Amino acid sequence: MKRLEIDTRRGAGRPLVLAVLVVAALIVTTVWYREGDDGPLHGARRVLLAASQPFATAGTWVAAPFRAVGNWATGLGVNSADYATVKEQNLQLKERLATLEEAKLENDRIRALVDFAKAQDLPTSGARIIGRSTDSRQRSILIDRGTSSGVKRGDAVIAAGGLVGQVVEVTPFTSQVRLITDTSSGVAVLVQRTRANGIVRGASQKSLELDFVEMALAPVVGDVLITSGLGGVYPKGIVVGEVTSVSAPQTDLYAAISVSSRVDIERIEEVLVITGQNAAAAQPGGGE
């Protein structure tokens, strides 16, 4: 009697199963395309999709935080790698912006100076301030123009807004300018409205005072003072400042008058030297 042998090798019978699955797939595919949208297979598919939708939504909701963390970690790695480059570019942009802003401010100041010089119809030479005196009484600035640029001792110095001072010392490439706020300065002026004469002198606290104006001719607050041209030191008609206060004590012959310059003398960076004028040499005490 023959013994029944069973093939126990792995994969035995698999070709038959595969053939059955292929035939079944062909049948299902054929039925799917022939039955239309209302067929049982299409209906079963809709039921399965409807049944699985809540699970798919829940899975998406649960996985969302993990995806976000993964994206953040990936981005963190990129940012860490590029941080130094981005920081350097940011610093370069800031530096360039600061340079452009400084150039714009300087251009605006120079344009104002040029416009002022044109309005005054005076021959001028532009200069930059390269030094300032620290003495609270003897106030002066150093500019980067000298005899090589046609600047000479006694030349008047102005800025956009009015008078700044007078050149008192000159070298080939620099000049020292005594400011009108110096206590030893003196500028012969006219009250523009009344034509009364007086002398503007530097006072303490970097301010100005108008002296030698009689009580009857005393100006009022807001009156404009201009150079009178007397003495030949300053050309006539340059604005010196405005009257800020007037005090007329009965015991004094002259009114006590405070003046404010239209030029922010402590902060200006560029000036104009009036050249080609027959100005008198600078004298200690003003030259009014």
DSSP lists the bridge partners of residue 164 as: none
User: What does pTM read for this prediction?
Assistant: 0.59
**Structural contact between residues 206 and 193, judged by C-beta atoms closer than 8 angstroms:** no
Q: Find, among 128, 131, 136, the residue nearest to 182 by Cα.
A: 136
Architecture of domain 123-274: Beta Barrel (2.40)
CA 117 from chain centre, in angstroms, equals 26
**Structural contact between residues 79 and 87, judged by C-beta atoms closer than 8 angstroms:** no
**Structural contact between residues 245 and 252, judged by C-beta atoms closer than 8 angstroms:** no
Residue 128, pLDDT score: 93
What does pLDDT average to in each consecutive run of 10 residues of the chain (288 residues)? 51 69 73 68 66 65 66 60 70 68 61 63 86 83 94 92 93 96 92 93 84 87 93 88 86 84 90 73 41
Q: Long-range contacts for 131-136 (Cβ within 8 Å, ≥24 apart)?
A: 136/204
Map out the domains of the chain as residue ranges: 13-121, 123-274
**Structural contact between residues 122 and 114, judged by C-beta atoms closer than 8 angstroms:** no
Alpha-carbon torsion, ordered 65, 66, 71, 73, to 10 deg: 110
Q: Find, among 264, 268, 233, 239, the residue nearest to 116 by Cα.
A: 239
Determine the residue type at 1: M
Residue 279, pLDDT score: 45
Residue 287, pLDDT score: 45
- In angstroms, rounded to a whole number, what is the distance separating the alpha carbons of residues 225 and 196? 10
Residue 227, pLDDT score: 93
Classified as helix, coil or strand, 233 is coil
Specify the DSSP element, H or E, that contains 166.
strand 162-170
Residue 29, pLDDT score: 74
